Amino acid sequence: MLVPIQEFLHRHRTKWVGFAFILPWIVAALWFDLIPFVVNLLLSFTDYSVSTSIPNWTGTKNFNEIFTLDPLFSKSLGNTVYYLALSVPVRLVVALAIAILLNLRIMALGAFRTIFYVPSVVPLVAVSIIFFGMFNARYGIFNQVLILLDLPPVRWLTRPEWVKPAMVIMSTWGFGAQMVIFLAGLQGIPAELYEAAEMDGGNYWQKLFRITVPMLTPVIFFNLIIGIIGGFQVFASAYVLLGPGGGALNAGLFYVIHIYNNAFSYFRLGYAAALSVVLFLIILFFTIVMVRTSDRWVYYGDT
Amino acid sequence: MVEGIASRISKWVVAYPLLLIASVVMLFPLIWTLSTSLKTAQTVTLREVQLIPDPIQWSNYITIFEEAPLLRYTQNTLYMVLASVAGGVVICALAGYAFARIQFPARETFFYILLSTMMLPHVVQIIPLFVIFDRMGLVGTFWPLIIPRLLGHNAFYIFLMRQFFRGIPLELSDAARMDGCTELGIWARIVMPNSKPVLAAVAIFSIQFAWNDFLSPLIYLGPKQELWTLALGLNAQKGFEGEITSLHKMMVISIYMIIPMLAVFAFGQKYMIEGVTFSGMKG
C-alpha cells in the first residue's frame, strides 16, 4: 500500500528535481541565447539607436543599405575571408606538422609539448600588445632582424598589404591547442595499420599520406569548422593590434569590428544587428556546405 | 617496437633540429616581452637588437603601479573570474548531472536546445544583449559581466560535465538512492567528489575565459575606468604607433597579466590538456 505511494512521490519528486537542476540554465538560455536571438532579428528591421528610445520599423532598409550603400560591408567581409583563408590553414598545417614530429617517439615530449602550448595560455589582449611591440616598424624585433639579415624592413601595421600577414603570424603563434588535439588523435591511430603498411614495403611518406592524414580527417574537419567559425568572428586581437579603425586604409577592418563600430561608435544598433544577421547566415552557409561535403573527404571508420 | 636506422637518423637530422628551432621561435615573443619590460624609456627606442637590456630596470615592475591602477583592475577581473568559476563548477555541474542522470519530461528536447545554443555564433548576441542590459539600466555596471557567468551560461561546460558524469558507475548512486539519499545529496556526496578531472578542466577554462575576456568589458564598462579589468587596462596603455616610448610599460602589464595564467597552466596542465583534447576530438 505504502510502497506505490512512495514510488509515485519519488517519481514526481525526481521530475521536479530534474527541472530544478537545470532551472538556472533555462533562465540563462532564455535570457542570453534565445530571447537575444529573436530580439536581434527584430532589431535588424528597425532603426534602433540608443538615443531613440522607440525603434521604428524600417523593413528591409538596413539590408538594402548593407548590400548597396555600405562600402565597408564588402571591405570588412573581404578582409575577414582573406584573413581566415590564410590563418586557418596555416595554423592547422603547423599544428599538424609539429604534432607529427612530436609523435615520432621523441625524447622530452612533455617539455616540447609544454613549450608549444604556453603561447596558447597567454591572454589574447597580451598577445596583441606583444605583437604590437614586435611589429613596430622602428623598434620592433621583426624589422630589427630583417635589417640584420640585410632585408628591407616592413611597415607591418601601417601598410595595407602587410596588416593581414601580420595578423596571420600572430594567430599562428597560438597553434598549441590544436597541436595537442592532433597529438591525441595521432596517438589513437592503431599501430597495426602502420605494421601492415611496413610489411607491404610502404615508406614514411606513403604511411603519412595513406594512413596518418586519412585517419585524422575527422579531427582536421572539426578543427577546420571551429577555426572558420572563430575566424569570421575575429575581434579582440585585431581591435587591440590595429585599433578600432582597422589599420591602414581599413585593411584590418574585420567584420565584427565593423559591427562594433556601428553599434557602439555610431550607435546604429539596428543596422549593426542587421550586419550580424548577415554574418550569421554566412557562417551558417559555410557550416552547412562543409558538413554536406565532408563525407567526400572525412573518414568516419568502416561503418 | 624496434626502430629502423633510417628512422633514427631522420629523427636526429630532421625532427630534433626542427623542434628545437620551433621551440626557440615559440618562446621568443615571451623572452622579448620580458626583455622589453626591463628597458628604460630611452633603451626601449633603440634601433638595434638588445635582448639583455642595459641597464636592467627592475623598478619598472614597481613604478607601473603609480601609472596604472593595476590592483583595482586585478580586483575587478577577479570578480569575473570568481563568478565564472562558481557558475561553472556549481550551476553547470548541477545541470550536467540532471542531463546525465535524472529522468525528467522533455529532457532530450532540452538537451537538443543546449546543443543548438552551443552552435550559436556569439556575434548575434552582442547587440541584443547590450540592448536588454541597457533597458535594465545595467550598462556601466559590473552586472552584465557577472550575471551570465553566475548563472552558468556556458552550454559547453554543461556538455562536458554531462559526458563525464555518464561515465560514473550507476551502482554508486543507486546504492545511495536506496538509502534515501536525495538527488542533491547524490550529486554532492557521490558524483562531485568523483569528478575532479572535469571540475578542474571547467574551473581552468572559466578562469582563462574570464581573465581574457575583452569584448564584453569593452562594451559594458566603456569609459568607467574604476570598473576596468586588466584586459581593458592593458589595451588602454597602448598608445599610437608614435607613442612607442611606453612600450616597456605595456610589456610590464602584459607580464603581470600572463603570470597568473602560467601558474594556472602549471598547476592544471594535465586537466587542461585533457579538456582541450576532449573538446577537440568529440565536442
For residue B281, which residues of chain A lie inside 8 Å, CB to CB? 181, 184-185, 219, 222
* A contact residues 23-42, partner B, Cβ 8 Å cutoff: 24-29, 31-37, 39-40
Q: Is B148 on the interface with A (CB under 8 A)?
A: yes
Of B18, B102, B123, the CB nearest to A280: B123
pLDDT at B282 over 80: no
Query: Cα angle at A56 between A54 and A60, to 5 degrees?
Result: 150
Average pLDDT, whole number, for chain B?
90
Rounded percentage of chain B residues whose pLDDT exceeds 90: 65
Q: Is B252 on the interface with A (CB under 8 A)?
A: no
Please tell me the distance from the alpha carbon of residue A287 to that of residue A226, in angstroms, as a whole number: 9
Per the CB < 8 A criterion, the answer to whether B7 and A106 are in contact is no
* C-alpha cell read off for B216: 564584453
For residue A114, which residues of chain B lie inside 8 Å, CB to CB? 269
Averaged pLDDT, A74-80: 95
Omega of the bond prior to A4 within 30 degrees of 0, cis?
Answer: no
Please tell me the distance from the alpha carbon of residue A219 to that of residue A221, in angstroms, as a whole number: 5
pLDDT at A3 over 80: no
Question: What pLDDT is attached to residue A69?
Answer: 93
Q: Is B37 on the interface with A (CB under 8 A)?
A: no
Highest mean pLDDT among A138-142, A161-165, B179-183, B267-271: A161-165
Q: Is B267 on the interface with A (CB under 8 A)?
A: no
Window from A43-52, A179-188, B66-75, B131-140 with minimum mean pLDDT:
A43-52
pLDDT at A302 over 60: no
Averaged pLDDT, A36-51: 92
Averaged pLDDT, A115-122: 95
pLDDT at A114 over 80: yes
Averaged pLDDT, A85-100: 95
Place of cell 557602439: A264
Averaged pLDDT, A63-87: 95
Q: What is the pLDDT of residues B231-254, one digit of tens each?
A: 999 998 886 545 677 889 999 999
Å between A219 CA and nearest CA of chain B: 6
Sign of the Cα torsion A114, B271, A172, B282 reads positive
For residue A36, which residues of chain B lie inside 8 Å, CB to CB? 124-125, 128-129, 132
Question: What pLDDT is attached to residue A6?
Answer: 63
Identify which has the larger pLDDT, B261 or B44: B261
Averaged pLDDT, B38-53: 86
Q: Is B175 helix (H, G, I), strand (E, B) or coil?
A: helix
Window from B150-154, B155-159, B217-221, B235-239 with minimum mean pLDDT:
B235-239
Average pLDDT, whole number, for chain A?
90
Does the distance separating the beta carbons of B32 and A129 come in below 8 Å? Answer: no
Size (chain A), residues: 303
Question: What pLDDT is attached to residue B283?
Answer: 44
Rounded percentage of chain A residues whose pLDDT exceeds 70: 93
User: Model confidence at A105, in pLDDT bands (50, 70, 90)?
Assistant: confident
For testing contact with chain B, the best of A7, A10, A19, A25 (most B CBs within 10 A): A25
Question: What pLDDT is attached to residue A246?
Answer: 75
Averaged pLDDT, A67-94: 95
Window from A69-78, B12-21, B241-250 with minimum mean pLDDT:
B241-250
Question: What pLDDT is attached to residue B94?
Answer: 96
pLDDT at A188 over 70: yes
Q: Is B9 on the interface with A (CB under 8 A)?
A: no
Question: What pLDDT is attached to residue A286?
Answer: 93
Averaged pLDDT, A2-24: 73
Question: What pLDDT is attached to residue A52?
Answer: 63
Q: Is A208 on the interface with B (CB under 8 A)?
A: no
Question: What pLDDT is attached to residue A303?
Answer: 43
* A contact residues 163-202, partner B, Cβ 8 Å cutoff: 173, 176-178, 180-181, 184-185, 191
Q: What is the pTM of this model?
A: 0.91
Averaged pLDDT, A271-279: 97
Averaged pLDDT, A218-232: 91
pLDDT at B58 over 50: yes
Does the distance separating the beta carbons of A273 and B127 come in below 8 Å? Answer: yes
User: Model confidence at A128, in pLDDT bands (50, 70, 90)?
Assistant: very high
pLDDT at A13 over 80: no
Does the distance separating the beta carbons of B29 and A180 come in below 8 Å? Answer: no
Q: Which ranges of chain B would DSSP assign to H, the alpha helix?
A: 5-10, 16-37, 60-67, 70-86, 92-101, 107-119, 123-135, 143-150, 155-165, 170-178, 183-186, 196-212, 215-221, 230-237, 247-281
Does the distance separating the beta carbons of A263 and B103 come in below 8 Å? Answer: no
User: Model confidence at B2, in pLDDT bands (50, 70, 90)?
Assistant: low
Of B47, B99, B129, the CB nearest to A138: B47
Window from A87-91, A159-163, B185-189, B278-282 with minimum mean pLDDT:
B278-282
Window from A40-44, B46-50, B205-209 with minimum mean pLDDT:
B46-50
Question: What pLDDT is attached to residue B202?
Answer: 94
Does the distance separating the beta carbons of A263 and B208 come in below 8 Å? Answer: no
Does the distance separating the beta carbons of B184 and A39 come in below 8 Å? Answer: no
pLDDT at A15 over 80: no
Identify which has the larger pLDDT, B21 or A201: B21
For residue A29, which residues of chain B lie inside 8 Å, CB to CB? 113-114, 117, 153, 155
Residue of A nearest to B159 (CA): A25
For residue A95, which residues of chain B lie inside 8 Å, CB to CB? none
